[in-house]
């Protein structure tokens, strides 16, 4: 059951768009920054397959410029 955290960077001027897009994905939590245009994304999935799917889904968001993973935990069953 992987738990992962990322930093998401938006394209210029697309920050709000990115936040709305991200918030539509139910398997991830978002912590938005108040003063810089980045957001922290935490994903919580049942297995590795789901996890890959989610990552793809996030990466397909148009307003996203870059997604960098910071940490990951495998919690076992």
Partner 1 sequence: MIKTITNRRDFLKKMAATAAMTAAASLFPGIIFAEEQVENIKASGNLKWTKAPCRFCGVGCGILVGTENGKAVAVKGDPNSSVNKGLCCVKGYHQTICMYAKDRLTKPLVKRNGRYVEVTMDEALDLVASKMKETIKKYGKDSVAMYTSGQSTIPEGYVASKLMKGAIGTNNLDCNARLCMASAVAGFLTTFGADEPMGCYEDIEHADVFVTWGNNMAEMHPVLFSRMLDQRLRRDVKIIDFATRTTRSSMAADKSILFKPQTDLAVANAIAYEIIHNGWMNKKFVSEHCNFKKGLTNPGYGTEDKFKFKDKPTSIDFEAYKEFLNDYTPEKVSKISGVSIKDIKYLAYLYGHPNKKVVSYWCMGMNQHTRGTWINNLVYNIHLLTGKISQPGNGPFSLTGQPSACGTAREVGTFTHKLPHGVVMNKAHREHAAKIWKVPVERIPAKPTYHATEMFRALDRGDIRFIWTQVTNPMVSLPKVGRYTKGAEKADRFVVVSDVFPTPTSDVADVILPAAWHIEKGGLYGNSERRTQHWNKMVDPPGEAMADAWQTIEVARRMGFEELFPYNKETHEDEIYEEYRLHHKGKKHNMAPLEVLQSQAGAMWPFVDGKETKWRYNPIYDPACSNGKDFHFYGNKDGKAIIWQRPYEPAAESPDDEYPFWLNTGRVIEHWHTGSMTRRIPVLHRAMPHSYVELHPEDAKKYGISNGQKVKVISRRGSTILPASINERGLPTKGQVFVPFFDENMLINEVTLDAFCPISKEPDYKKCAVKIEKV
Please give the residue ranges that form the binding site for partner 1 (CB under 8 A). Answer: 1, 3-7, 29, 31-36, 38, 40-42, 44, 70-73, 75
Comparing CB distances to partner 1, the nearer of 17 and 29 is 29
Q: Specify which residues 74 forms β-bridges with.
A: 2
Alpha-carbon dihedral sign for residues 2, 44, 68, 21: positive
Tokens standing for residue 15: 């920050």
The CA-CA-CA angle for residues 23, 68, 51, to 5°, reads 60
Comparing CB distances to partner 1, the nearer of 36 and 49 is 36
Smallest distance from partner 1 to CB 72, Å: 7
Smallest distance from partner 1 to CB 14, Å: 18
Smallest distance from partner 1 to CB 35, Å: 5
- The CB density around residue 35, as the number of other CB atoms within 10 Å, is 4
């Amino acid at each position: 059951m992987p738990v992962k955290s990322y930093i998401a960077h938006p394209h210029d001027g697309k920050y709000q768009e990115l936040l709305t897009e991200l918030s539509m994905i139910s398997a991830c939590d978002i912590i938005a920054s108040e003063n810089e245009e980045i957001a922290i994304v935490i994903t919580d999935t049942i297995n590795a397959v789901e996890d890959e799917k989610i990552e793809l889904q996030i990466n397909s968001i148009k307003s996203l410029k870059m997604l960098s993973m910071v940490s990951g935990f495998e919690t076992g069953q």
